[in-house]
Amino acid sequence: RPIDRGYLINPDLQRDIWSHLFNSLLHVSPSSSSLLLTEPLFSLPSIQRSTDELIFEDFGFYSLFVADSPSLVHLYESSRRPDSLLSEAQCSLVVDCGFSFTHVAPVFQNCTLNYGVKRIDLGGKALTNYLKELVSYRSINVMDETFLMDDVKEKLCFVSLDVETDLQIARKQGKDNLFRCTYVLPDGVTHKKGYVEDPEAAQRHLRASSSAAMEPNKEAYQLETIAKTEERKRVDLTKNEFDLMNERFLVPEMIFQPADLGMNEAGLAECIVRAVNACHPYLRPVLYQSIILTGGSTLFPRFAERLPILDVWRGGSLLASSPNFESTCVTKAEYEEHGSARCRRRFFH
């Protein structure tokens, strides 16, 4: 990948990817086009210079506008809900949990308050790696199957609302264990993609409350009859499948408890509190009432009722379509006259 932990580290590879994108897929003429680019928060000046050289010197774009993800998410959500508190106060707290890291960023009047931004160096990549380690230790070696385990994570993992209770349930046998499910690996002949053996059984925990799960003889038994009634056997290592139990909720739990992975960092809840407390006291009640979740790693069931993964792109689309967008961009002529560092000040909030 040309990008590592959100930052551009291989401009040559990025040039090849963008060249294919602009020429073969989008069919755009850079010399007559403006580019809206999103960059991670706190990008280093050396990376910014490499990006500007790539955009203006290699591709020759007419102008450039650089934005960060939180401000675009806020822009989209405020336009989508014009009567909401978020829109009226022009203030929100954006939780962006992506591939490499998680940012908690307060936004005020479409500007990210950098002094209040908090970061966790943990995202979807680390969660997939942790799931690979758990499955490899307990069942089958899948350390080299990143894309396959991404699929397992997306289909079967969820956020627990009561970890202690769910751990007790995961220890139960047979139909009393609401979390046990089987994932079948691809064999390359009959099926080329992995799949969940019994999708109905894999969703039992979502239909049973924690209190009902502690007394499964009635409701859990009824739910079990809908799915398979026979007891699960231990994984046969000669077969092309493995079982998941407490891994399903322990992996997403790392976002809230990074210390369990040996990381000396605060969890998501504590990061939210620290980000809010870094802002003016008048803003704090509004920030707590206007939390926006975005990013692929927020798509676990029970993470939130609504998880707008495309908000960054949608906000960027609104910004690029605004009448005054061109006037806020840095043109190629300005870049050649003043250089990258001076032009970048226009996008600094």
Amino acid in position 308: P
Using N-to-C axis directions, what is the helix angle for 69-80 and 311-321, rounded to 10°? 80
Q: State both tokens at 208.
A: 């049973």
Q: Could you tell me if 283 and 107 are in contact, meaning their C-beta atoms sit under 8 angstroms apart?
A: no
Residue with tokens 């006259």: 337
DSSP 139: T
Of 152, 153, 151, 131, the closest CA to residue 143 belongs to 131
Query: Does the pLDDT value for residue 232 go beyond 50?
Result: no
Torsion region of 108: left, alpha or beta (phi above 0 gives left; psi -120 to 50 gives alpha): beta
Q: Give Cβ neighbours of residue 191 (< 8 Å, ≥ 6 apart).
A: 184
pLDDT at position 13:
94
Amino acid in position 255: I
- Domains with residue ranges and CATH for the chain: 1-61 (3.30.420.40), 69-121+266-348 (3.30.420.40), 124-207+237-259 (3.90.640.10)
Torsion region of 109: left, alpha or beta (phi above 0 gives left; psi -120 to 50 gives alpha): left
pLDDT band at 214 (very low <50, low <70, confident <90, very high): very low
pTM of the complete model beyond 0.85? no
Task: List the alpha helices (DSSP H) in 21-89.
Answer: 45-52, 69-80, 85-89
Name residue 94's beta-bridge partners. Answer: 105, 292
Query: Does the pLDDT value for residue 248 go beyond 80?
Result: yes
Neighbours of 294 (CB within 10 A): 25
Neighbours of 190 (CB within 10 A): 6
Question: Measured between alpha carbons, how far is 236 from 104 in angstroms, rounded to an integer?
Answer: 43
pLDDT at position 342:
74
Q: Is the dihedral of CA 108, 109, 114, 117 positive or negative?
A: positive
pLDDT at position 314:
66
Q: Give Cβ neighbours of residue 39 (< 8 Å, ≥ 6 apart).
A: 48, 51, 66, 67, 68
More confident: 347 or 300? 300
Name residue 95's beta-bridge partners. Answer: 104, 293
Of 57, 139, 102, the closest CA to residue 295 belongs to 102
Q: State both tokens at 138.
A: 């307990």
pLDDT band at 200 (very low <50, low <70, confident <90, very high): confident
Cα 19 to Cα 46, 63, 64, 159, distances in angstroms: 22, 17, 17, 39
Cα 48 to Cα 35, 38, 279, distances in angstroms: 15, 11, 27
Name residue 112's beta-bridge partners. Answer: 107
pLDDT at position 208:
63
pLDDT at position 259:
86
* Distance, C-alpha 142 to centroid of its chain: 23
Arithmetic mean of pLDDT, 166-192:
84
- Please state the φ and ψ torsions of residue 333, each to the nearest 5 degrees: -65, -40
Q: Could you tell me if 71 and 112 are in contact, meaning their C-beta atoms sit under 8 angstroms apart?
A: yes
Arithmetic mean of pLDDT over the chain: 82
Arithmetic mean of pLDDT, 20-30:
92
Question: Measured between alpha carbons, how far is 208 from 219 in angstroms, rounded to an integer?
Answer: 8
pLDDT, tens digit, 9 for 90 and up, residues 158-168: 988 888 888 88
State whether residue 321 is helix, strand or coil. helix
Q: Could you tell me if 106 and 344 are in contact, meaning their C-beta atoms sit under 8 angstroms apart?
A: no
Question: Measured between alpha carbons, how far is 246 from 254 in angstroms, rounded to an integer?
Answer: 13
Query: Does the pLDDT value for residue 346 go beyond 80?
Result: no
Query: Does the pLDDT value for residue 178 go beyond 70?
Result: yes
More confident: 15 or 7? 15
